[in-house]
Amino acid sequence: MAGPIRVIVHPPSPTGGRRVRVDGEILGLAHNAVDVAEFLRRAGLEIDPVDVVDLPWVDWRGVGPERWGPETSS
């Protein structure tokens, strides 16, 4: 990939999981950081799942990497 990439991890969907977009292309629905790392691997980037949460070029929309499912009320 030439130039800086932009990864967007969208907010959790109502049914669970978060859509992952790289440079405008939707790569899939992730349910954890391992899924995000796998999508990035398929896009040509070898990233350890542990490192995904701290990468400065990953934009975690809505909430951080600790949330993958819909909000629940208590």
pLDDT in tens, the chain (74 residues): 455 678 999 999 999 999 999 988 999 999 999 999 999 999 888 999 999 999 999 999 999 999 998 875 44
Each residue of 46-60: b (16+ CB within 10 Å) or e?
ebeeeebeeeeebeb
Q: Could you say which DSSP state residue 14 is in?
A: T
C-alpha 18/C-alpha 35 separation (Å) is: 10
pLDDT of residue 16: 93
pLDDT of residue 73: 46
